[in-house]
Homo-oligomer: A and B are copies of this chain.
Amino acid sequence: MSTMTAPSESDASSATGTTPAGLPVYDVDVHEAFKSLDDLLPYLEEPWRTLMGRGSFKGITPPYAKWASGGGGRADAKPADGGPPGSDYDLMCEQLMDAYNIKKVVLTGYFFPVIMEDMQVELASALAQAYNDYQIDQWLNRDERFLGSVHVAPQDPQAAAAEIDRIGEHPQMVQVMLAMTTRAYGDPFYFPIYEAAERRGLRIAFHQSTHVQGACGMGRYYIERHMLIPQATMSQCISLLCNGVFDRFPDLRFMALEGGWTWLPHVLWRMDREYRSLRQEIPWVKKMPSSYFRDDKRMLFATQPTEDITADEWLKTQELIGSDDLLVFATDYPHFDFDSPIRSLPARLPEDLKRKILFDTAHEFYGV
């Protein structure tokens, strides 16, 4: 299996618009984009509309120069009108849904990191609200294949809960988006968000963000940071478990995006070991930690970015996890490390497993 940074000509054309054996695809991580912050102004309340209308906020970016030819995006995904990759619906149809037999697309935006962390908290919540209305108006209403993510500013859990209540029951909204930074989301501070999501029948999705880092910081290089990203997902598993989130919110399920999955054997074993030894400290956790994952499937993991492993290595790793029901497929369109549905899964994976990963498991998870 080769690493793809973008699909080659032959990849798309030889496939004539289908995945191998014509399998349908459920893509759980696609980043739609607005052309500029001005697109959000009609949806933004005052006084924020005036403030943002002045161009007084430039967004937040990580401090790295990027070697990939398209920067953070696929070089070929930049629309002719000069907008950012992901901002053109027609191009997205052509390069993504039509090219790969994609039946459902979970939109995850790229706005959520911008509204996080250091920004003034009320403005962050107002931008989340504006973004959700923009997302419904400009994207969800345009194509019923799109499923949406409720964007929130988790630094104000009460405002986040109110926003979830406001639009969470939109028929295409499937999850609440929590950007991974250095926040450990098992903290009871975030429980109002989980209560609202459970109330509205939504999933919770984690996605790495501009602010994510590893156990020893962000790294001195972009490549280094890219190697460290999965640690934040490991930390969410551990934080949710130890703080009893799985027990306190029995109907809540989680989706981990861009955080890897081949570390699961280690994290499940390590959690179980420590639980055997020290569980007196967390009596609200009622079962072996691995059981919440392996048996109850409380968290699923998106495959993108796939590591370069053989079918044999993939299957052995799944066997060590003890489940083949935890993986779902994502392209991460339109980013530079796009995973092609045709070429990113090892060719020799069994057909029924491919079907599960590419479609069935996500379909069951989102229940749409």
Contact = CB atoms under 8 A, between A and B. Distances in A.
Nearest to A182: B216
A233 to B, nearest CB: 9
Contacts of A274: 223, 226-227
Nearest to A309: B269
Contact of A215 (B232, B280, B316): B232
Given A238-B227, A265-B317, A282-B223, A308 B273 contact: yes
A7 interface: no
Contacts of A279: 223
Interface string A63-98: 000011000000000000000000000000000000
Contacts of A210: none
A3 B276 contact: yes
A308 B289 CA distance: 13
A365 interface: no
A215 B238 contact: no
A182 B269 CA distance: 24
A281 interface: yes
Given A223-B282, A280-B67, A270 B230 contact: yes
Interface residues of A, number: 69
A183 interface: yes
B68 A270 contact: no
B187 A214 contact: no
Contacts of A317: 265, 320
B183 A216 contact: yes
Residue with the greatest number of chain B CB neighbours at <10 A, chosen from A231, A239, A306: A231
A66 to B, nearest CB: 8
A37 interface: no
A135 to B, nearest CB: 27
A266 B223 contact: no
A222 to B, nearest CB: 6
Interface string A1-14: 00101000000000
Contact of A220 (B181, B187, B227): B187
Given A224-B239, A243-B220, A5 B270 contact: no
Contacts of A156: none
Interface in A260-316: 260, 262-263, 265-267, 269-282, 305-309, 313, 316
A249 interface: no
A184 B305 contact: no
Contacts of A269: 262, 307-309, 313
A157 B108 CA distance: 45
A28 interface: no
Contacts of A309: 269
A235 interface: yes
Residue with the greatest number of chain B CB neighbours at <10 A, chosen from A185, A269, A316: A269
Given A278-B67, A307-B273, A215 B242 contact: no
B215 A277 contact: no
A82 to B, nearest CB: 26
B221 A282 contact: yes
Nearest to A3: B276
A123 to B, nearest CB: 24
A66 B45 CA distance: 50
A274 B66 CA distance: 13
A319 interface: yes
